[in-house]
Amino acid sequence: MKAIDDHTLEVTLSEPVPYFYKLLVHPSTSPVPKAAIEKFGEKWTQPGNIVTNGAYTLKDWVVNERIVLERSPTYWNNAKTVINQVTYLPIASEVTDVNRYRSGEIDMTYNNMPIELFQKLKKEIPDEVHVDPYLCTYYYEINNQKPPFNDVRVRTALKLGMDRDIIVNKVKAQGDMPAYGYTPPYTDGAKLTQPEWFGWSQEKRNEEAKKLLAEAGYTADKPLTINLRYNTSDLHKKLAIAASSLWKKNIGVNVKLVNQEWKTFLDTRHQGTFDVARAGWCADYNEPTSFLNTMLSNSSMNTAHYKSPAFDSIMAETLKVTDEAQRTALYTKAEQQLDKDSAIVPVYYYVNARLVKPWVGGYTGKDPLDNTYTRNMYIVKH
- CATH (domain of 109): 3.40.190.10
Residues 186 and 314 in one domain: yes
Are 212 and 250 contacting, i.e. CB atoms less than 8 angstroms apart?
Answer: no
Residues 154 and 228 in one domain: yes
Residues 139 and 284 in one domain: yes
Residues 248 and 364 in one domain: no
Range of the structural domain that residue 171 is part of: 133-351
Residues 220 and 347 in one domain: yes
What string of pLDDT tens digits covers the 382 residues of the chain? 899 998 899 999 998 888 898 888 888 888 899 999 999 999 999 999 999 999 999 999 999 999 999 999 999 999 999 999 999 999 988 899 999 999 999 999 998 898 889 999 999 999 999 999 999 999 999 999 999 999 999 999 999 999 999 999 999 999 999 999 999 999 999 999 999 999 999 999 999 999 999 999 999 999 999 999 999 988 999 999 999 999 999 999 999 999 999 999 999 999 999 999 999 999 999 999 999 999 999 999 999 999 999 999 999 999 999 899 999 999 999 999 999 999 999 999 999 999 999 999 999 999 999 999 999 999 999 8
Q: What is the pLDDT, as a whole number, of residue 183?
A: 98
Residues 140 and 249 in one domain: yes
| Strand, helix or coil for residue 346 | strand
Residues 219 and 329 in one domain: yes
Residues 275 and 375 in one domain: no
Residues 220 and 368 in one domain: no
Q: How many whole angstroms separate alpha carbon 344 and alpha carbon 346?
A: 6
Q: What is the pLDDT, as a whole number, of residue 322?
A: 84
Residues 13 and 106 in one domain: yes
Q: How many whole angstroms separate alpha carbon 17 and alpha carbon 9?
A: 17
Residues 69 and 102 in one domain: yes
At 283-340, the pLDDT tens digits run 999 999 999 999 999 999 999 999 999 999 999 999 999 899 999 999 999 999 999 9
Residues 110 and 163 in one domain: no
Instruction: Tell me how many domains the chain contains.
Output: 2
| Strand, helix or coil for residue 57 | strand
Q: pTM of the prediction? A: 0.90
- CATH (domain of 229): 3.10.105.10
Are 108 and 357 contacting, i.e. CB atoms less than 8 angstroms apart?
Answer: yes
